[in-house]
C-alpha cells in the first residue's frame, strides 16, 4: 500500500509498505480522510515520532471504512468508522484510576500516528475497543475533526467553566477555536481570543466563535483588556509560548484558573510570582477520555459543534 513516511527533519516520502494483515482481533480500516495535528508538525520538524521513533507514518485524526472487523461482532465490512488513537495498558496507576489518557506506559505502547503506523496511509490496523462507528450525519472530513474536538473538550472540562464566566482563549489555532466552541456551550458569558497571526485572526473572525479577537501586539490591547473589569475567570492557553503564559497570569482574576493546553518540549520562563500572588490555579491537560471522544462525536453529529468549515 502507499503511505507517507517521515524520513528525516522536514522530510516526507511517499513509499510502498506492507498493508496491515487481518489478525482476527484488531480492526483493519481503509483511510478516507486524515487531519494534520500540531504534534505531526513537531514530529516533522524533529524528523522523528514520539519517543524518537524513526520512519514514522503519522496521522491520528482520521475516518475510514472497515475492511476487516477483527473481533468486533458489531462491525461489518463497509462500515464507516473513526477511532481513538490511544492504547492504554489498563494496569498502571493512572489507568486503574480511570485516567487512560495519561497511561504511565504510553511511551512503550503502540499509539497510532505517534509511535506506530497511522493514518497517512491507505490502510491501518487499530485496537478494536478504540474503534467508533460513525453516525450518518457526520461526513469524512467532520469525522477527522472528532479527535481534536475531544482534546478541546477535555481542556474545557478541566477548567470547570460555569455560566457567566469570562474566558480568554490564548491562541487562535484549531484547538483554540474548538476550545472556544466548547466554552460557549459551557455558558461563558464573554469569550475573547488573543492571537498575533493575521491569518488566524481573520479566520477566527469569519467563524464568529468569539466576542472579541485581541492582538497583544496592538497598541489598543491594554485598553481592550481594561474593559474586562476584574480580569478573566479562565484562560485556556493553547500556544505554549512564554509570553502568552505570562500574559494569562496577569489578566486572570485572583483565584482564576489557567489551563495549559499547549505543548512545548523546552524549558520555559514563567513569572511564578504572578501565579502565587493571585493564587492562580494551573492545570495541565493531555488528550481526552473515551467518554469525551464519544461526546465530541455526538455534538458534531448534531451540528452543535459545527466543524465542517474549519
Catalytic center residues: 39, 42
List, edge to edge, every strand of the sheet that includes 27-34.
123-126, 27-34, 62-68, 80-83, 131-133
Closest alpha carbon to 63 in 7, 3, 118, 4: 118
- The span from the CA of 244 to the CA of 262, in Å, is 10
For 288, residues 6+ apart whose C-beta sits below 8 A from its C-beta are 84, 101, 150, 151, 153, 154, 296
Q: How far is CA 236 from CA 153, 175, 198, 208, in A?
A: 11, 10, 20, 18
Instruction: Count CB neighbours of 242 within 10 A.
Output: 15
Amino acid at each position: 500500500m502507499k503511505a507517507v513516511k517521515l524520513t528525516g527533519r522536514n522530510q516526507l516520502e511517499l513509499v510502498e509498505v506492507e498493508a496491515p494483515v487481518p489478525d482476527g482481533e484488531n480492526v483493519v480500516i481503509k483511510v478516507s480522510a486524515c487531519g494534520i495535528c500540531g504534534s505531526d508538525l513537531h514530529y516533522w520538524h524533529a524528523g522523528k515520532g514520539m519517543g524518537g521513533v524513526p520512519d514514522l507514518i503519522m496521522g491520528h485524526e482520521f475516518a475510514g471504512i472497515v475492511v476487516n472487523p477483527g473481533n468486533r461482532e458489531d462491525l461489518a465490512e463497509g462500515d464507516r468508522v473513526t477511532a481513538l488513537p490511544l492504547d492504554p495498558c489498563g494496569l498502571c496507576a493512572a489507568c486503574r484510576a480511570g485516567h487512560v489518557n495519561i497511561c504511565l506506559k504510553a511511551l512503550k505502547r503502540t499509539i497510532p500516528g505517534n509511535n506506530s503506523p497511522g493514518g497517512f496511509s491507505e490502510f491501518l490496523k487499530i485496537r478494536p475497543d478504540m474503534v467508533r462507528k460513525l453516525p450518518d450525519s457526520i461526513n469524512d472530513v467532520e469525522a477527522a475533526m472528532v479527535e481534536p474536538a475531544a482534546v478541546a473538550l477535555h481542556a474545557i472540562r478541566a477548567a470547570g467553566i460555569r455560566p457567566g464566566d469570562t474566558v480568554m482563549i490564548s491562541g487562535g489555532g484549531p484547538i483554540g477555536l474548538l476550545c472556544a466552541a466548547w466554552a460557549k456551550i459551557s455558558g461563558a458569558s464573554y469569550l475573547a481570543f488573543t492571537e498575533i497571526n493575521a491569518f488566524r485572526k481573520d479566520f477566527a473572525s469569519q467563524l464568529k466563535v468569539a466576542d472579541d479577537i485581541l492582538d497583544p501586539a496592538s497598541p489598543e490591547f491594554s485598553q481592550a483588556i481594561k474593559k474586562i473589569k476584574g480580569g478573566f475567570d479562565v484562560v485556556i492557553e493553547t500556544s505554549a509560548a512564554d509570553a502568552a503564559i505570562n500574559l494569562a497570569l496577569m489578566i486572570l482574576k485572583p483565584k482564576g484558573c489557567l489551563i495549559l493546553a499547549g505543548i512545548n518540549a523546552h524549558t520555559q520562563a514563567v513569572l511564578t510570582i504572578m501565579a502565587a500572588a493571585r493564587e492562580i490555579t494551573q492545570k495541565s491537560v493531555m488528550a481526552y477520555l473515551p467518554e469525551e471522544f464519544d461526546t465530541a462525536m455526538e455534538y458534531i453529529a448534531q451540528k452543535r459543534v459545527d466543524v465542517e468549515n474549519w
